[in-house]
C-alpha cells in the first residue's frame, strides 16, 4: 500500500508534541502537553494533558504512526492519559494518583463504589499540593475485567456475592491490573520523588518496585454511604486495602 505523505506543516505542528517511549513489547507514543482547563468544584484549573498509545512498531518516524491512525479505528479501543499540574518535571515534591477507569462511578456518578469521589478528590489534592499528576488508566475497568463483565459482576452482587467472589464467579481473578505503562510514562515525565494517593498496597508496591523514588503514600477514603459500605469493607477485608485513621467504614 502506498504511504500517504503528510503535509509538512501538519507534521511540524505535531512533531514536537510526540515522544517515543520504548517498552519491552514495543513502544508507547506519548502526545502532549495540551492545555486543559478543567472545571474542578466550580473553579477553572489549568492542567497539562498527555495521552498515550501502545504500538508494536518502534519508530522515531512519527509520520508512519500518524499515517496509521485513520485506519485503525482507535475509538473501538481504550487509550489512557495523564493530567499534569504545576512544575511536574522539576518540582521537588509531587503527588500522583493512578486512577483505574470506572465508567459507572467516574462518568455516571454511581454511589455503588467510591471511584467518582476518589477521581475528583485526588485532582483537588494535586492542585492543593501544587505539583502532581493524575493517571487515568483506561484498560483497568472492573479491576481489569472490562465493562461488560463488570455489569455481570454487578448482577452477582445484587444476588449476595461480594465484589471479589463476583469476579471469580465469572472466571476472572479478582484483580488483573498492572501499572507498567503508567510507570513508563511517569518515568518519561519525572525522575524526582513522588507521593502516591492510594489505599491499595499493590499499587504502592508496583510503583516502589519500578525503581522510581517514592516518598510516601496518602490515603483516600470518603463518600461512604449505604450504597458502597459493603464494597468498601470488602476492599479492606478481602482485597488488602489499607485501613487508615480516617477510615472508610463505620466500625
Ligand atoms: N469488578 C468490579 N470492579 C469494580 C467494582 N466497583 C469498582 N470497580 C473497579 O475497581 C477499580 C477501582 O479499584 P478499587 O479497588 O476501588 O480501588 P483501587 O484502585 O484498587 O485502590 P485505591 O487507589 O485505593 O482507589 C476500577 O477499575 C473500577 O472500575 C465492582 O463492584 N466490581
Does domain 8-69+78-140+177-237 fall under CATH 3.30.1490.20? My reply is no
Which residues are within 8 A (CB) of 119 and not within 5 positions of it... i.e. 6 or more apart? 99, 102, 105, 106, 134
Pocket of ligand 1 (CB under 6 A): 100-102, 113, 115, 118, 140-143, 145, 150, 153, 157, 163, 167, 198-200, 203, 235, 239, 241
- Average pLDDT for residues 225-249, to the nearest whole number? 78
Helix axes 8-15, 62-69, angle to 10 degrees: 110
Lowest mean pLDDT among 43-52, 199-208, 222-231: 222-231
What's the 249 CA to ligand 1 centre distance in angstroms?
16
94 contacts 122 by C-beta, under 8 angstroms: no
What's the 226 CA to ligand 1 centre distance in angstroms?
17
Which pLDDT belongs to residue 247? 44
**Is 177 noted as a catalytic residue in this protein?**
yes
- Average pLDDT for residues 155-168, to the nearest whole number? 94
The protein residue whose alpha carbon is closest to atom 8 in ligand 1 is 142
Binning pLDDT at 50, 70 and 90, where does residue 130 land?
very high
**What residue spans define the domains of the chain?**
8-69+78-140+177-237
Which pLDDT belongs to residue 201? 93
**Is 143 noted as a catalytic residue in this protein?**
no
Which pLDDT belongs to residue 112? 95
64 contacts 57 by C-beta, under 8 angstroms: yes
**DSSP category for residue 24:** S
What's the 209 CA to ligand 1 centre distance in angstroms?
22
Amino acid at each position: 500500500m502506498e504511504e500517504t505523505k503528510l503535509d509538512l506543516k501538519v507534521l511540524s505542528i505535531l512533531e514536537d508534541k510526540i515522544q517515543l517511549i520504548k517498552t519491552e513489547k514495543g513502544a508507547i507514543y506519548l502526545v502532549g502537553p495540551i492545555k486543559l482547563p478543567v472545571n474542578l468544584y466550580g473553579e477553572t484549573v489549568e492542567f497539562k494533558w498527555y495521552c498515550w498509545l501502545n504500538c508494536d512498531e518502534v519508530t522515531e518516524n512519527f509520520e508512519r504512526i500518524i499515517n496509521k491512525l485513520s485506519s485503525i479505528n482507535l475509538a473501538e479501543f481504550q487509550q489512557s492519559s495523564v493530567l499534569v499540574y504545576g512544575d511536574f518535571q522539576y518540582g521537588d515534591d509531587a503527588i500522583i494518583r493512578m486512577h483505574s477507569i470506572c465508567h459507572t462511578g467516574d462518568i455516571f456518578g454511581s454511589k455503588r463504589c467510591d471511584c467518582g469521589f476518589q477521581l475528583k478528590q485526588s485532582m483537588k489534592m494535586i492542585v492543593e499540593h501544587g505539583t502532581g499528576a493524575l493517571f487515568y488508566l483506561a484498560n483497568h475497568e472492573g479491576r481489569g475485567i472490562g465493562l461488560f463483565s463488570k455489569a455481570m459482576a454487578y448482577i452477582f452482587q445484587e444476588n449476595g456475592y461480594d465484589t471479589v467472589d463476583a469476579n471469580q464467579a465469572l472466571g476472572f481473578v479478582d484483580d488483573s491490573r498492572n501499572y507498567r505503562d503508567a510507570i513508563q510514562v511517569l518515568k518519561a515525565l519525572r525522575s524526582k520523588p513522588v507521593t502516591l494517593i492510594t489505599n491499595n498496597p499493590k499499587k504502592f508496591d508496583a510503583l516502589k518496585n519500578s525503581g522510581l523514588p517514592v516518598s510516601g503514600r496518602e490515603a483516600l477514603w470518603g463518600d461512604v454511604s449505604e450504597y458502597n459500605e459493603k464494597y468498601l469493607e470488602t476492599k479492606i477485608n478481602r482485597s488488602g486495602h489499607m485501613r487508615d485513621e480516617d477510615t472508610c467504614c463505620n466500625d
